[in-house]
Chains A and B, each alone.
Chain A
């Protein structure tokens, strides 16, 4: 089955630690996205990548980093510089980002809790 996988489902981190969230897709999509979701705030874009080895900051990139070394993978690192990292993180992908009518497909999410 084609789709997007995120791991782990739940993640706990101590303050001051970096942590990496995994996102893999087998849909052969060009573009991938990372969102952060907090109650009552909808989805906010962290980073996105439209092609391998290239990515752009979204609206709330501070304290996060990404890489796009392979088409199918787009890992997100939450660094110790992120002041309030506890949230639900969603990864998404789409086939051709220039075709705005293409919907984004979402993974199941990772819930990160800082202890």
Chain B
């Protein structure tokens, strides 16, 4: 069975600082990995995904993530946080028929 662990349910950064949101996964097959963002009372929006090939994946809004098979990780980063990045972020792994989500990380950006 697939599983996802997001380390840190709440992360707080200053505007302009590095954003690092951690995700570790467990999968019995080569994984497909996703990061989604959710703004209050809205649905989820895809930030980026890893399928095969290049392990550094670039997404929307300046985010990127690196797939590290040896560490079973897919951490999300952004060099410089903006106030508009404040939201909840979900990491997910696919088992071909369904997605399994982590519990989410709430990102707060302080002025």
Contacts and interface: CB of A to CB of B under 8 A. Distances in A.
Interface of A: 4, 33, 40-43, 45, 48, 50, 58, 88, 90, 92, 97-101, 103-109, 111
Contacts of B96: 97-100
A48 to B, nearest CB: 6
Instruction: Give the interface residue-count category, chain B.
Output: 20 to 34
B43 A108 contact: yes
Contacts of A45: 98-99
B44 interface: yes
Contacts of B41: 88, 109, 111
A98 B96 CA distance: 5
B43 A42 contact: no
B32 A42 contact: no
Contact of A108 (B36, B42, B90): B42
Contacts of B44: 43, 90, 92, 104, 106
